[in-house]
Amino acid sequence: MGASETRWCLRPGQHLAYRQWDGECVLYNDLSGDTHLLGDGTIELLLALRRGPATREALAAVLQAEFEIDAAALARETDTLLEDLRHLYLIEALAC
């Protein structure tokens, strides 16, 4: 399966307890016990995954709907966010 077909999902056990204030988001990570300071785009992406697994393209579309961003920047931003969230144990790629 290619990278474009990979589906992403929230890690089991993440409840996405968060608060949004003034363009910043504070989120509690149920698996690590850490608290993260996130931008608005990041929480939109996580909330999309709360509705169910999604492909990179679908998640990029979520970001594009929220922010005015060109295609190249959108691709870079989506990949960076997904990788960051994976490292934080907030999301994972489904095996198949």
Shortest Cβ 53–another protein spacing (Å)? 24
Q: Report the interface residues with another protein, using CB under 8 A.
A: 15, 17, 19, 21-22, 24-26, 28, 30, 33, 35, 37
Give 16 or 69: the residue with its C-beta nearer to another protein.
Answer: 16
For another protein, the closer of residues 12 and 33 by Cβ is: 33
Q: Closest approach of Cβ 49 to another protein, in Å?
A: 19
List all residues 6 or more positions away from 42 whose beta carbon is below 8 Å from its beta carbon: 25, 81, 84, 85
Q: How far is the CB of 41 from another protein (least distance, A)?
A: 15
Nearer to another protein (CB atom), residue 30 or residue 84: 30
Three-state SS for 1? coil
CA atoms within 13 A on the CB side of 50: 12
In the complex, what is the shortest distance from the CB of residue 25 to another protein, in angstroms, rounded to a whole number? 7
User: Distance between CA 17 and CA 15 in Å, rounded?
Assistant: 6
Angstrom distance (rounded) from CA 78 to CA 38:
14
